[in-house]
Amino acid sequence: MKVSYYPGCTLRNKARDLDIWARRSAEALGVELCELEDWQCCGGVFVAARDEIATKLSSVRALAQARDRGQPLVTVCSACHNVIKRTNQTLRTDADFAAKVHNYMAQDPNPIAPYTGETEVYHYLELLRDVVGFDRVRAAVKHPLTGKKIAAYYGCLLLRPGKVMRMDDPENPRVMEDFIRALGAEPVVYPARNECCGGYVVLENAQSAEKRSRTVSASAAGHGAEMIVTACPLCKYNLVKSGSELPVVYFTELLAEALGVKEESYAE
Amino acid sequence: MQNKNERRREQILRISGVNPLKCMRCGKCSATCPSYDEMEYHPHEFVYMVETGDLEPLIHSTSIYQCLSCMACVERCPRGVEPGKLIEALRLTVIREKDANHMTADTIPAVIDDETPQQAIVSALRKYTK
């Protein structure tokens, strides 16, 4: 099947591993990720204020392009997913916002038809769970990660606000644990798995982010994990920078390894 | 001054969509806030102080830059007050004023390293500048 794919700014730069293994794994699972043309950065964080319009237009353009292709839109980065999904939900529920967005969009050189939230947005994990199915993932595994104890780190962006993200139970999620099981490994459930790593505050108050991240990695290590997996480049950065005693790996890299499509290196 | 304060309060309520009167003062938002220790004023205090119009201390406090936008308080509030959105709106009314950006592109090189993801930079600029 074909889906539209929005990589986002970091996946083209510091988080190449998150992107490349997502693409290779999708190929192995029979899903064609069709990258959007001329996509623009989502801005990294959703600004909830109701009068913020311009900061959400890059998401609208991505969503509208997927609609015009008749495809769902797939994201991999937790931040892109949070911003695009929340923008989509606001368009669905706030007619005043949608009207203002359309007024802005009408100024584009090639204006799009009014967009009001028609596109379905899937995070890559949802694609695996709901479209491909974890059973098919399990069947495609060539190198099961048997015996590995892996801590799924959700952070804040994948799950909250729960009423909008609707990926999983925001307080007791299981999608990443089920993903880990599908790869043959053993998920480790630990208290801090859905707490924030400190996020962008690392540039404002580095000590604050360090404390938050150490809490997360210590919680995972204390519950017997050998490794932490994440979908978020900023979570990975903060955890590593704060001195996590466990390796922090993108979930797509783990998937590629299990599917047997991970090579030693890839062409830049 | 009275009018300016009242205008700011009205703007905060309008752009956040938050109704502080729904708050029952249980303090769960502050109890769950990962940035609690970094803040002079905590999420439950933001809600109460915006309700009563006591905005001056908040405007001048570094607490408005410590919120992680992690939505823990929004998710866990038993009354659906959404304190995080209120803190963001308050911060916006501050940084939207002339020359009031809290961060500039010039200050970024000093706080990043070779591994800093682009996501961190765009997010911080979006949260701390207009």
> From the CA of A249, how many Å to the nearest CA of chain B?
15
**Residue A24 is part of which domain span?**
2-123
**Full-model pTM:** 0.97
For the beta carbon of residue A134, count every other beta carbon within 10 angstroms: 17
Residue-wise pLDDT for A178-197, tens only, equals 999 999 999 999 999 999 99
Interface touch B120/A234, C-beta < 8 Å: yes
Residues 6+ apart with CB under 8 A from A39: A6, A7, A8, A58, A61, A62, A65
Residues A208 and A253 in one domain: yes
What integer best gives the mean pLDDT of chain A?
Answer: 96
CATH number at residue A15: 1.20.1050.140
- Taking 50 as the pLDDT cut, the residues of chain B under it are none
Q: Write the single-letter amino acid at A258.
A: A
Establish if A24 belongs to a structural domain.
Answer: yes
Burial (CB count within 10 angstroms: exposed 0-12, middle 13-18, buried 19+), residue B73: buried
Window A:80-139, CB contacts with B under 8 Å: none
The band of A266, judged by pLDDT with boundaries at 50, 70 and 90, is low
> Is any Cβ of chain B less than 8 angstroms from the Cβ of A44?
yes
Residues A87 and A147 in one domain: no
- Which pLDDT does position A263 carry in this prediction? 73
Q: Residue A54: its chain B contacts at CB < 8 A? A: none
Q: Choose the mutation target among B119, B126, B130 for the interface with A, i.e. most A CBs under 10 Å.
A: B119
Residues A21 and A89 in one domain: yes
Residue-wise pLDDT for B80-111, tens only, equals 999 999 999 999 999 999 999 999 999 999 99
Residue-wise pLDDT for A56-93, tens only, equals 999 999 999 999 999 999 999 999 999 999 999 999 99
Residue-wise pLDDT for A225-236, tens only, equals 999 999 999 999
Q: Got the DSSP string for B53-82?
A: T--HHHHT-GGGGT-----HHHHH-TT---
Interface touch B71/A14, C-beta < 8 Å: no
Question: What domain count does chain B have?
Answer: 2
Residues B66 and B120 in one domain: no
Residues B93 and B106 in one domain: no
A74, A29 contact by CB (below 8 A)? no
Between CA A183 and CA A97 the distance in angstroms is: 42
Residue of A nearest to B75 (CA): A161
Establish if A232 belongs to a structural domain.
Answer: yes
The band of A268, judged by pLDDT with boundaries at 50, 70 and 90, is very low
Q: Write the single-letter amino acid at A250.
A: Y
Residues A160 and A248 in one domain: yes
- What percent of chain A has pLDDT above 90? 96
Q: Mean pLDDT throughout A134-138?
A: 98
Interface touch A49/B126, C-beta < 8 Å: no
CATH number at residue B72: 1.10.1060.10
> From the CA of A66, how many Å to the nearest CA of chain B?
23
Question: What domain count does chain A have?
Answer: 2
**Residue B128 is part of which domain span?**
102-130
Establish if A225 belongs to a structural domain.
Answer: yes
Residues B15 and B40 in one domain: yes
Residues B88 and B53 in one domain: yes
Of B15, B69, B117, the CB nearest to A51: B15
Residues A12 and A76 in one domain: yes
> Is any Cβ of chain B less than 8 angstroms from the Cβ of A142?
no
CATH number at residue A178: 3.40.50.11810
Residues B53 and B73 in one domain: yes
Q: Residue B116: its chain A contacts at CB < 8 A? A: 14, 203, 237
> Is any Cβ of chain A less than 8 angstroms from the Cβ of B96?
no
Between CA A183 and CA A203 the distance in angstroms is: 35
Q: Mean pLDDT throughout A4-14?
A: 97
Interface touch B119/A234, C-beta < 8 Å: yes
